Chains A and B, each alone.
Chain A
C-alpha cells in the first residue's frame, strides 16, 4: 500500500551506542570474502596508518539496519516488509570505522516517492562517536514492490 507521506522529515534516535569489535569486523570481512589484512591484523592496520583494525566500506550497514529498521517498523508508515528490496545505498566517510569505536546514529526519513508501481523511501543516517565526532553519513533507499499499484 502507499506509504504515509506524513513521515517525511521524521527523525529517530540517537540510538544506543554500537560498539565496534575486532571480532565483528573479522566476521563481516569473512562473509564478504575479503582477506585484506587491515580488517584482521592490528599490526597491518597500524602499518597502514590506522590505530586499530578498520572495517570494510559497507560495514555501517550492520548497525544502520538496526536504526533504519526503527523507522521502517514505525506504525502508520505502512511498509510491507515481504515486498521490500534494496533500491540504493550510499556512504560518505569522514574516516574509516575502526575497532573500539562506540557509534550512535540519528536517522531521518528524507523522501518518499512513487516510481511506477513501486514506493521508494530514503533514510539518511548520521553516524558519530559517542563523543560527537562525525564518522560517516549513510543514505538508504528501499523499494516496496507494488506499493503504489
Chain B
C-alpha cells in the first residue's frame, strides 16, 4: 500500500477541498445493475410515491461510494482505507431530468492515530441537506 499522503505532513483540522458528484437516474440504473440492489424506490417513481417517498431516491450505497471516492482520491491508494462507516441521515432525491442531483462531499482531518493512521470526518450534502452523518474513514498514510 502506497498512500500519496504523508502522515507527518497532515495536521488535525486540515480541510480536504469539497468536490461535487452528480447523480442522475442513469447512474442509479447502472448502480442497481452493478450492485444487484434492484429495490424499486431507486428507479420506479410510481412505486417510490406509492410507499410515501417524494420521488426516486439514490441508493445510500451510491452516496457512500462517492464519499469513498473522495477519500481515495485524496489518499491516492484505495487500499489505504482501513475503516469506513456512515449513517444515511437523509435521502438524495433524484429528479427525472438530465442533471439529476448533486452530492457535495468535504472532509477534515479529525484525529491522528498511532501507526500513521488518521481519521477523516466527512460531510456529504445534497442541496442544503446533510445526507450522511457520523461519516468517518480511517486511512493508513505513509
Given the known A-B contacts A88-B85, A90-B86, A145-B52, are A56 and B91 also in contact in the complex, defined by CB atoms under 8 Å?
Answer: no
Q: List 14 A-B contacts (CB under 8 A).
A: A24-B34, A32-B69, A33-B21, A33-B69, A34-B72, A39-B78, A49-B79, A56-B72, A58-B68, A89-B86, A90-B85, A92-B83, A95-B79, A139-B85
Q: A73 in the interface, Cβ–Cβ < 8 Å?
A: no
What residues make up the interface of B, taking CB atoms closer than 8 Å to A? 1-2, 21-22, 27, 30-31, 33-37, 39, 41, 51-52, 57, 59-62, 64-66, 68-69, 71-73, 77-79, 81-88, 91, 134
Given the known A-B contacts A31-B27, A34-B69, are A65 and B35 also in contact in the complex, defined by CB atoms under 8 Å?
Answer: yes
Q: A9 in the interface, Cβ–Cβ < 8 Å?
A: no
Chain A residue at minimum C-beta to C-beta distance from B61:
A61
Scoring A50, A66, A86, A96 by chain B CB atoms within 10 A of each residue's CB, the highest score goes to A86
Q: How far apart are B79's CB and chain A's nearest CB, in angstroms?
A: 4
Pair B77/A48 contact, Cβ less than 8 Å: yes
Pair B34/A31 contact, Cβ less than 8 Å: yes
The tally of residues in A whose CB lies under 8 Å from a CB in B reads: 39
Chain B residue at minimum C-beta to C-beta distance from A29:
B34
Q: A86–B71 Cα gap in the complex (Å)?
A: 21
Q: A91–B82 Cα gap in the complex (Å)?
A: 8
- Binding stretch for chain B, among A77-85, A102-110, A125-133: A77-85
Pair B69/A62 contact, Cβ less than 8 Å: no
